[in-house]
Structure formats: structure tokens, C-alpha cells
Amino acid sequence: MLTIDELATFCKRRGFVYPSCEIYGGMSGFFDYGPLGVELKNSIKQQWWKSHVQQRSDIVGIDGSIITHPKVWEASGHVANFTDIMAKCGKCGNSSRADHLVEDKAKIPTAGMNTSQLQELMAKHKIKCPRCGSDVLKIAQPFNLMFKTTVGPSSGKEAEAYLRPETAQLIFTDFKLAQENARLKLPFGIAQIGKAFRNEIAPRDFLFRCREFEQMEIEYFVHPNKIGKCPYVEEFSSYEMNVLTSEMQKKGGDEHKKTKVKEMLDKKLILPWHAYWLAFEHNWLASLGAKTENLRIRQHVQEEKSHYATDTWDLEYNFPFGWKELEGIANRSDYDLQQHMKASGKDLSCFDPETNTKVVPHVVAEPSLGVDRTFLVFLFDAYEYDSKRENIVLHLNPKLAPIKAAVFPLLSNKEELVADAKKVYDELRKEFSCFYDENGSIGRRYSRMDEAGTPYCITVDFDSLSKHDATIRDRDSTKQARVKIKELAEILHKLLSGKMEFGSLA
């Protein structure tokens, strides 16, 4: 299996992701997306926005500010609770996350453990500093992960603000305005894609745990008397996922079981809205190329739940370093709206025309998906070393592929071929992200595009000059077909959107 370090090396070599500011030595936990990476990342966000906002009548979007009022984070509980427990080495000064040290070395799940439990386990398992190997590790005070900054010329307490550690809170603070402006009626959702910042004690595993990352989040609001009924869950009744409940974990199990949504509901393992959103998210990831055998949903055990959550399920992915959270989906009840009403003194309730009363809606599900972790998932599941081609092939879904089509002249020293190929390229790039390449043999050019995940390559050859057609080659099957140049754009549209199979061209 491909390791995370091997993927990071590939990403740098092919221009997907670079360590940020590498010429100055880089900064741990910060990354830059290169020419291919920015296209893939943008496609992920566009696909998410399309299916979660534009194609739904019950969800609208916002784009909140990154630097936020300190009162927001006091009310939400982040100032008091958004902490991790740090273990500091008395010899070399290296800081690590105490729970990660215990999980890695003692192979014990640490969800919800407090400082003294972690200290005890570190002593019992004689855990040493991962950097210098000394055993003088001391548990420090809980460390708050929020980045602070100052706003304006003053540097006093009154100028302090925070970089948001999640996008969610801006949805709550804008809740009333968005609901009124978009005339939303319960149940409805508000979505947001944007950067979040966490001063992680020890960033690791490439993009998996960084200090600056992006989230795609929805707060889904439901009338408090209607939280038990979801009108949409039926459509996923027979949808199957790998499921690991808190009960199974309490019995010491870590083995998930394939379960249908209907069975989960019949056994009252989950509320219908929560099940709906888990299935919706799972299905979205699978529809774009995530392998279902690498996905599972895991319920948080009691001690692991955040201060605001009544129930939380993580959508996990089988990373090379174990099953880890890709997306958290919490039931936040009315916690946040109530907190902000108390702290701001503003009314954040909705009018219920059925009962002529005001109600504070419940967030029955908060799908919170990291863009960067999703980027890793699509790359891991697309990556294949093809021993026949002796080359890496990225089988990315065409909707996500950074370059949709590449155009080559068969030979670079034949002027008329180059001129015609450039004409094709100029036409196609008006509609798709395209790449023109005339360097090296056709085989090498195909290989480079296979590695970049480009689904289709178009070659202009001598026959093209007289017949006005070109060869189109399919990345996954390596099959080729001849198509009329004037029909190329339309054919590509159909192939990329999945409306046409490549086989039907041959």
C-alpha cells in the first residue's frame, strides 16, 4: 500500500502540493497547492457546492470572515474547551499530543481521556520522547488550538480576535439574516466552504493534520418538534455502509459491520436525519471515486463526544496509518443558537406559522468535511502503479481531473501538424482545462498525462490533415477511437459528464 510519505513525494514531483515556503525551510503544518493540485482542490469544492447547495432547494450558502469576534468563541465554548493535551520532553523540548503518543505506542484508544489518565498510561507503557528518546516526558496544561491575532493598530486585549478554527460558528452568527433573506422554512440548511486554522501541537501525516486547512460544512436546522422524522431518509433505505456503533466499541470491537440504513433505523441505532446525512455524504464521496471498502461510519463513544454534541458519527477512511476521521457529523441540538442568544442578547429564533410561535431550531446534523483530507482520499483511491505501462496512473473521476484533455501533434517537427494541433487546443481550452504537449515520444506524453490523471488525450496526425479527424485515447483502458475534430468538444462534454461511455466511440 502506498504510504502517506510516498504520496507526499508524488504530490510534490507532479505539482499537486508543496511544503509551504520551502525555499526558507518550510513551516510545519502549512502547504501550498501547485498547478495540478489547485485544479483538483477547486473541482472537489465545486462538486460539493453543486450537489449540496445549487442542486438542493433547502440549502443556501454563505461565506463568512476568517478573523472573528472573540465573543463568538467564548459563546461557542471554544475558548474554554478547544484544547488538546500536550506532552513536553524535559530534555529536548519537543511537544507531542499525549493521546497520539499513547495510541501509537500502546495501541490503546484514548478518546475522551483526561490529563491524569494519559499521564498514567504514558508512565505504564514507558513512553519516550519521539524525537530524542528520553523518558522525561511531562504532561503540560491543556493547549488551546485557536490562533490569536490583533486587529488594528492597538495591541491591547481589546484588539484581540481569533482566526476561526471551524467555519460552523459563522453560520450561527449569520443564521437570522440568512434565514430571512433567503426566506428559508424549516427544515433547511446553511452551507459554507472556507479556511479554518488550528494551532495543532504536532502536525503530521502530510495534509491530514495541518494548521491551515479548508472545510466544507453544513448546519442543518429542523423544527424542535420534528427532529424524529426525516422526509428524505427513505431514498437511502437500502443503502449499505460499514458501521461501527459505540455499543460495538464498548464491547471491545474495532470491526465494522456492513449494515443497511433501514436496519440502523429499525434497531434505533441512530435518528433518521443523522442517518440520512451520513448516507448522503457517503454516497457523494463514492460517486466521485472513493472506494466504499475504504469508508466506514463510526459512532463516538460517550466520553469522546464534544461538549455541544448529543450524538456524533465520523465518516472514516482507511488511511495507510489506520481508520481516521474524514468527516465529522454531529447532532448539535440547539446548543449553538441558544449560546449565541444568551451571549449576544439577540433573538435567533424562527417563526413557526403552524403554531404561531417562535422556535429555536435544532441542528440535527452538521456534516463537516475537510477539503484537504478529501483531496487525500481521492488521490489514494485513484493512484495505481500499472506494471504493464510501468507508470503511475491516476484514475481520478473525470469531473475531478485537473486537466480534462491533452492535445498532441504526432510529431513536433512537422509544421502543419503542430499548427492543426494548436488550433484544436485553442478551441478546446475555451471550454475545458486542457494541456498542449509536443515534447518527447507519444508514449512519454501519454505517461505524463496518465500520472496527472488526465482522462483523454487527443493526437493530431497526418490523416487528420486530410480527414479532419483525430485520435482520442482513454486513460483507463488505453483504447483509442477516431473522431471528427468539429465534434470533439461535444464528445468531450458527454464523456466528462458521464453521459457517454468511451466504448460507444470505437
Taking the C-alpha atoms of residue 298 and residue 292, their distance in angstroms, rounded to an integer, is: 14
Site size toward ligand ATP, by CB under 6 A: 16
Taking the C-alpha atoms of residue 374 and residue 327, their distance in angstroms, rounded to an integer, is: 9
Q: Which of 16, 172, 213, 323 binds ligand ATP (CB under 6 A)?
A: 213
CB 68 within 8 A of CB 161: yes
Binding mask 215-234 for ligand ATP (x = CB under 6 A): x-------------------
Taking the C-alpha atoms of residue 245 and residue 249, their distance in angstroms, rounded to an integer, is: 7
Residue closer to ligand ATP, measured from CB, 372 or 437: 372
DSSP conformational letter for 113? -
Residue closer to ligand ATP, measured from CB, 200 or 437: 200
Residue ranges in 151-221 assigned as alpha helix (H): 168-173, 175-181
Residue closer to ligand ATP, measured from CB, 79 or 500: 79
CB 397 within 8 A of CB 288: yes
Q: What are phi and psi of 459, to 5 degrees?
A: -115, 130
Residue with cell 477539503: 371
> Of 187-195, 288-296, 321-329, 406-414, which segment contacts ligand ATP by CB under 6 A?
321-329
Residues 434-473 touching ligand ATP, rule: CB under 6 A, are: none
Determine the residue with CB nearest ligand ATP: 370
Does 68 participate in binding ligand ATP (rule CB under 6 A)? no
Residue closer to ligand ATP, measured from CB, 295 or 496: 295
One DSSP character per residue, 392-407 reads: EEE---TTT-S-SEEE
297 forms beta bridges with 243, 315
Residue with cell 430571512: 180
Does 328 participate in binding ligand ATP (rule CB under 6 A)? yes
CB 431 within 8 A of CB 489: yes
Q: Which of 8, 191, 326, 472 binds ligand ATP (CB under 6 A)?
A: 326
Q: Which of 198, 223, 300, 399 binds ligand ATP (CB under 6 A)?
A: 198
Q: Least separation, in Å, of the C-beta of 101 and ligand ATP?
A: 15
Q: Least separation, in Å, of the C-beta of 345 and ligand ATP?
A: 28
Residue closer to ligand ATP, measured from CB, 373 or 445: 373
Residue closer to ligand ATP, measured from CB, 256 or 448: 256
Buried residues in 461-481 as b, exposed as e (16+ CB within 10 A)? beebeeeebbbbbbbeeeeeb
Q: Which cell numbers hold the place of 212?
A: 491551515
> Of 134-142, 185-193, 210-218, 388-396, which segment contacts ligand ATP by CB under 6 A?
210-218
Q: What is the β-pairing status of strands 59-61 and 188-197?
A: parallel
Residue closer to ligand ATP, measured from CB, 212 or 450: 212
> Of 30-38, 178-186, 205-213, 417-425, which segment contacts ligand ATP by CB under 6 A?
205-213
Question: CA 435 → CA 103, 279, 429, distances in Å?
Answer: 45, 37, 8
Residue closer to ligand ATP, measured from CB, 33 or 446: 33
Residue closer to ligand ATP, measured from CB, 315 or 392: 315
Q: Least separation, in Å, of the C-beta of 98 and ligand ATP?
A: 14
Length in residues, the chain: 506
Q: Least separation, in Å, of the C-beta of 44 and ligand ATP?
A: 12
Residues 343-402 touching ligand ATP, rule: CB under 6 A, are: 368-370, 372-373
Q: Which cell numbers hold the place of 133?
A: 528518546
Q: In what order do the strands lie in the sheet with 137-139?
A: 95-97, 86-89, 137-139
End-to-end CA distance of the chain: 35
Q: Which of 325, 384, 427, 451 binds ligand ATP (CB under 6 A)?
A: 325
Q: Least separation, in Å, of the C-beta of 198 and ligand ATP?
A: 5
Binding mask 164-193 for ligand ATP (x = CB under 6 A): --x---------------------------
Taking the C-alpha atoms of residue 214 and residue 207, their distance in angstroms, rounded to an integer, is: 11
CB 87 within 8 A of CB 215: no
* Identity of the residue numbered 374: T
Q: What is the β-pairing status of strands 240-244 and 257-260?
A: antiparallel
Q: Least separation, in Å, of the C-beta of 50 and ligand ATP?
A: 20
Residue closer to ligand ATP, measured from CB, 305 or 445: 305
Q: What are phi and psi of 175, to 5 degrees?
A: -50, -50
Residue closer to ligand ATP, measured from CB, 377 or 449: 377
Q: Least separation, in Å, of the C-beta of 315 and ligand ATP?
A: 8
Q: Which of 39, 316, 327, 334 binds ligand ATP (CB under 6 A)?
A: 327
Q: Which cell numbers hold the place of 403?
A: 486537466
Q: Least separation, in Å, of the C-beta of 203 and ligand ATP?
A: 7
Q: Three-state SS for 23? A: helix
Residue closer to ligand ATP, measured from CB, 39 or 166: 166
Q: Least separation, in Å, of the C-beta of 165 and ligand ATP?
A: 8
DSSP conformational letter for 204? B
Chain residues in the site for ligand ATP (CB under 6 A):
166, 198, 200, 209-210, 213, 215, 325-328, 368-370, 372-373
